[in-house]
Structure 1
Amino acid sequence: MISHIDHIVLTVSDIEAAVAFYQRVLLMEEITFANGRKALKFGNQKINLQLLGQESRNHASVGSGDLCLITYWTLDDVMKHLIQEQVEIIEGPVPKSGAVGDIQSIYFVDLDSNLIEISIYP
């Protein structure tokens, strides 16, 4: 019935700061859509950003996100980039279980304490 994820939504405290962080740290592309809303595009997916209370149907809190993103870089290259961008790696590399098998992952948090997992399939 379901083929893939199109987009997810993160609730953040400052949209412009979140956009700048994800552009700098994860090299995502900023896009603007529907009435000036902001999103971060990568591959064929995007992360929509919203402020607390902006969407009445969504009851998420700031910092409640937990994302696993697959990279085509090596984890060593990702870690070097994160260190260069002064992002603290809080765990990893560690073995985990991904959607289609075993993965190796590293973890950090964004400006709002959303947990970000960057992973590779060996």
Structure 2
Amino acid sequence: MSLIDHLDHLVLTSINPDATTHFYVEVLGMTLETFGQGRIAFRFGNQKINLHVRGKEFEPKAHLPVPGALDLCFMASVPLEKVIARLEEMNWPIIEGPVLRTGATQKIRSVYVRDPDLNLIEISEPVN
């Protein structure tokens, strides 16, 4: 029996919060949210990504928070062709894909990009 139901949020450490905000809000279409004492997050669905700036992290934090250490997979809310078109429109390079992969619950079709901190971002759609 798992004690965990779902992911609420994760924390991303960034070197350049403006570039990171541009990527997650303008390129990927997440919603910018402010909370607490001037903190920011990127909301999508029922989840969010909280932003830490390297050297100014909030406590408690990961033991060794570093930019570029994440490998995230997002399920797209639109067909992957629309994701690819959006990335091309924003001049954001696709580093691999589309390729078939194995997701948490089913086969997925994915493209890979890097965010401004060089985190690997996989954007996927289910394969029927």
Segments ≥4 residues shifted beyond 3 Å: none
Partner in structure 2 of residue 110 of structure 1 = 115
| Matching residue's letter, 2:11 | V
Q: Which runs of 5+ in 1 are unaligned?
A: none
Task: Report sequence identity in percent.
Answer: 43
RMSD: 1.1
Q: Secondary structure at the match of 2:69?
A: coil
Work out which of the residue numbers 51, 54, 66 in structure 2 matches 1:49.
51
Which 10-residue stretch deviates more, 50-59 or 22-31? Answer: 50-59
| Matching residue's letter, 1:106 | V
Partner in structure 2 of residue 3 of structure 1 = 5
Shift in Å, 1:5? 0.1
Counterpart CA distance in 1 for 2:43 and 2:53 is 18
Spell out, residue by residue over 1:75-109, the C-alpha distance to the aligned partner (whole angstroms, 9 max, x if none).
11111110100000000111111110111110000
Partner in structure 2 of residue 90 of structure 1 = 95
Spell out, residue by residue over 1:15-47, the C-alpha distance to the aligned partner (whole angstroms, 9 max, x if none).
222112211110011001111111000111000
Aligned residues: 122
Work out which of the residue numbers 117, 120, 124 in structure 2 matches 1:119.
124
Counterpart CA distance in 2 for 1:110 and 1:16 is 12
Q: Secondary structure at the match of 1:35?
A: coil
| Matching residue's letter, 1:35 | Q
Q: Which runs of 5+ in 2 are unaligned?
A: none
TM superposition score normalised by structure 2? 0.90
Counterpart CA distance in 1 for 2:13 and 2:19 is 12
